[in-house]
Structure 1
Amino acid sequence: SLSNFLAGEDNLPSLIFPVETLGFDAMTAGPIPPNAAELLTGNRLAILIEGLLDRYDHVVIDSPPVMGLADAPLIASRVEGVIYAVESHGISSGLVKTALRRLDSANARIFGSVLTKFEEKKSRYGYDYGYGYGRQET
């Protein structure tokens, strides 16, 4: 798991498992350590990413929400780029802007964003027109 590697486990292949039905390998987050931010500020994350890039063409890290603890900005500062996922109708535009500023202050490179769980019915914008024929009831 990620937390095991950051805490000193060096056997990277033993921490990775195949998800054969989907065609990729994965690593779990592992147990939550009491000093997660401290582990992320050390050099172990850079060593892990380098080791993964030696084995894989692409490495995707799903981090915690940006507005939570310090984990997401710390991770974002050490990766090639960030794709910021935003849950539609789940967060205000002001909070999105604050999160992006937080990533920017961590020197993260924002590659783009993804809007998830979008429902057109809940959108505030739209257009509707209608007309009808019939006799008015008396």
Structure 2
Amino acid sequence: MLNASLCEDFMVQKLGIEANKVSEIKRVLCRSYGTTMVGLLALGYNFDYDEYHNFIHRRMPYEILKPDHVLRDLLLSLPIRKVIFSNGDKIHVAEVLRKLELEDCFERVISFETLNPTNGSNTLIVCKPFKNAFEQAFRIANINPQKTIR
């Protein structure tokens, strides 16, 4: 996975973690903390959320994404509210939607910044896959989780 490789590059280039250890560290962090970024911060690595997202997402090959008109038609035909909930930052989500030509198919995007509006050093990060992240996303989007397709 490209995202995983870019995350490993961040760990080596920005945090100075030995290249031969990043794969195992990343696996443990994802299992224990839900995401590598949250795990790295919990271990005491100090970096800005935006720095992390910029390093990972701005290096992704968005040019390989092409408009998906079948998906677009399907999404627009569904008579339900559609909300995106992503651990990615809003710039990343917007770029993916733009490349796929799906920007107007969703009522709302709940991104990393929606649940984590500040970059305080002692702030607990809220993200998927944890229950509190889904609870907050449901509340923000005014969604009844009992009547939701996930």
Whether the TM-score (by the shorter chain) exceeds 0.5 is no
Higher helix share: 2
Greater Cα radius of gyration, structure 1 or 2: 1
Higher strand share: 1
